[in-house]
Structures are given as structure tokens and as C-alpha cells.
Structure 1
Amino acid sequence: MRGIDSDVNEYTQKRASLIEAENALRFDAEAIAGATENEKRAAEIVNTLRVREVNEIWKASEGSGMLMHPDMGFLTVRGAIMNTELYRTIKKLPKGGLLRGHMNTMCDVEFIYRLALDYPAIHVRVGSRISPNAPLPLPEFKPLAPELALEYAN
């Protein structure tokens, strides 16, 4: 029994070391390490909601007649997603759409975040047609005043 315990302990230590090494290679490792207390708290809230909704929605669907799983087509589960607490929470965040942006294809991320935190809504447009055969035009950002943001909110 003692040999099994030491093998399990060795495995657990090596696994933890491997996970730590892998986490250090993540593209966001530096951002996570330097996160503010507010950012850490926000991540904790989102992760708590995600875990809860996995159990309450995705796993709970097994007995409901409609089996839902994360790789289902978006339009199939859109209604369920839009009724989750996580979706309602993220929708309130400034520029929730940025959560889908790929960091290496966006402009200066710090600029985007500062702008997003300073204004409740921003109109983004390009001055010409976008086509696959032409270079992408530079976008124009126009922050909306709080009263306009409320007027145009959906």
C-alpha cells in the first residue's frame, strides 16, 4: 500500500508541475500573473457562473429530451445561451464583443481597453467598402456620450 501511495504522490506532483509549466506558456500568462484584484475577482465570478451553468444547463439537459452540448450549432442553442446568467452578465460589460477578438489580430489592446472602459458605447466604422481583394481600411472609432448610448441601446 505504501508503494501505491508514493506512486500516486509522485504522479500528482509531476502532473501539477506539468500543468504549471504549460500555464506559463499560455499567451495570456503575463496578463494573468499581473492581474489586478478587480480582474481576478471578475475572472472568479465568470468561472463560477460557467461551472454552475455547465451543471444546471448543459448537463441538466440529459433528462429534458434535448441533449445540449458545447459543440452544438449556435443557432440551435442560441435561446438557451441568451437566457443564461453568464450571457446576461457579459452583455452588461463594456464592449462584451471584445471577448471574441483575437489578440494578435487587433490593434493596440491597451488602447482598446482604455477606450472601452472610458465610454459605455463606441461606434466603429470604415470609410469604404470591405472586400476580400482589397486591403482592410482603417476603422474609425467614435465614442458615444452616455445619453446617446442609452438612446441606441438594444
Structure 2
Amino acid sequence: MADDNKDWELEQGIPQFEDPFIQQYLKGRNALIEEEHKRRHDAAFRKSLSPIAARACSIVSQIRAREREQIWTQGLDEATAHESDEILYPGVMFHNAKGRMEKTNLWKIVSKMPKGSLLHAHLDAMYDPDFLIEQAFNTPGMHISAPQALVTPEDYGSAPFALQFSSRSPNEPVTTSLWEDNYEPAALIPLQTAASSFPKGGEPDSGNG
């Protein structure tokens, strides 16, 4: 069967791996990659690695390559994709991949390494949203506001809003609702009050106001 495919490709004029111009392209590509490696910011550091460190780098690189093929791919079978309920590929949003990433061998290795300065990080990778939400509800004086009323499912999912502290008295009456058309834009609503009045099922009002 493989020979038949080969013959068909040759008949159709499809370039083959052994063709001189393909080999020339690959040779040029490899040379370009090699030159890039020489100019990397860590090229001198890599050259000075001890044999043990170089071996460790090689092992980690192999693990990274394997997990890139086995984990970070969109080519999942339907059952696996349904079970994971994730879109997996290198560069996927951190929030969507965090659970799976923390189960990888590469993560286990990195988590045990000494940490240096934070050179680059995305905001959603540096904090726990659930923790921040809990702190907001437990902090007296926290309010929510928005430039418009949030009344539709689209508003709930994409409309901007802001959380901020206000020293206003918790006993001050609230005359507008964030979830109704008559909401006054930018009006501050106690966070707990807004949550307890959310029309799709809110949190019980604890009186923290």
C-alpha cells in the first residue's frame, strides 16, 4: 500500500523528502535554527553548564517535548475532549489550562526548583480569583458599580464593572439596583447587596453591606 502511495505521489509530481531542493531547504532551515541558538540570550550560559546540568536540561527538554505532543494538542479524540472540557494547545489561556497543567511532570519539576525574580507573568496567573472574591465579600465597605445596568445574559458575561471601597455608611438606603433598567450609571452598590439581589440566584445577605 505504501508503494502504491509513493507511485501515485511521483505520478502527480508531489515533492519527495529525498528531492535535492527539499534537502537543500531542510539544510538551510537547520543552519538557521543553529544560528538562532548561537545568538540566544542564554547561549553563553548554556555553554558553561556542568555535565550534570546539561544532562538535566536534556531530560527536561525531552519531557517538555513529550508533554507538548501528549497533552497540549487539539488533536484529542472526542471522548477525551468531552471529558476534559478543555481546549488544549501551547499558549492556551492560563486559567483554562491550570488544572491540567498542575498534573504534568514538567510542573512538578518546576515547582521544586528554586525561584528567582518574576520576569514575565500574566495577571490571571499571579492570583487566585476565588480568594480575591472571598476577600472582597469579607471586607466591609466594598461596593460594585458599572457604566450601565446589567440586565441581560450578555451583560452578565461581558459588560464592564468595577469593585471599589467606599466609606459611606452601611445603613445608607440603596435606591437603585444594578440588575434593573433604572440603575444610575456608576452608582455604588454594596457588594453583598448586589450579590443577594442577583436575579439568577444570589448569595444570602449577611449584613456586611
Q: What's the TM-score, normalizing by structure 2? A: 0.41
Equivalent residue in structure 2 for 1:38, among 42, 52, 57: 52
Equivalent residue in structure 2 for 1:19, among 33, 43, 61: 33
CA apart distance, 1:44: 1.1
CA distance in 2, matches of 1:74, 1:40: 29
What does residue 6 of structure 1 align with?
20
Q: Which runs of 5+ in 1 are unaligned?
A: 103-154
| 8 Å Cα contact 2:68-2:90 kept in structure 1 | no
Matched, 1:62 2:82: no
The 4+ residue runs of structure 1 with deviation greater than 6 A are none
Aligned length: 98
What does residue 71 of structure 1 align with?
91
| 8 Å Cα contact 2:73-2:90 kept in structure 1 | no
Deviations 1:64-118 (A, max 9, x none): 22321222221221111111111112211222xx38536xxxxxxxxxxxxxxxx
User: Which structure dedicates a bigger proportion of its chain to helix?
Assistant: 1
CA apart distance, 1:60: 7.0
CA distance in 2, matches of 1:91, 1:37: 23
What does residue 101 of structure 1 align with?
119
Change in Cα spacing, 1:99 to 1:89, as seen in structure 2 (3 Å) is: farther
What does residue 107 of structure 2 align with?
87
RMSD between aligned alpha carbons? Answer: 2.6
Change in Cα spacing, 1:10 to 1:70, as seen in structure 2 (3 Å) is: closer
CA apart distance, 1:39: 1.5
Larger Rg: 2
Q: What's the TM-score, normalizing by structure 1? A: 0.53
CA apart distance, 1:19: 1.8
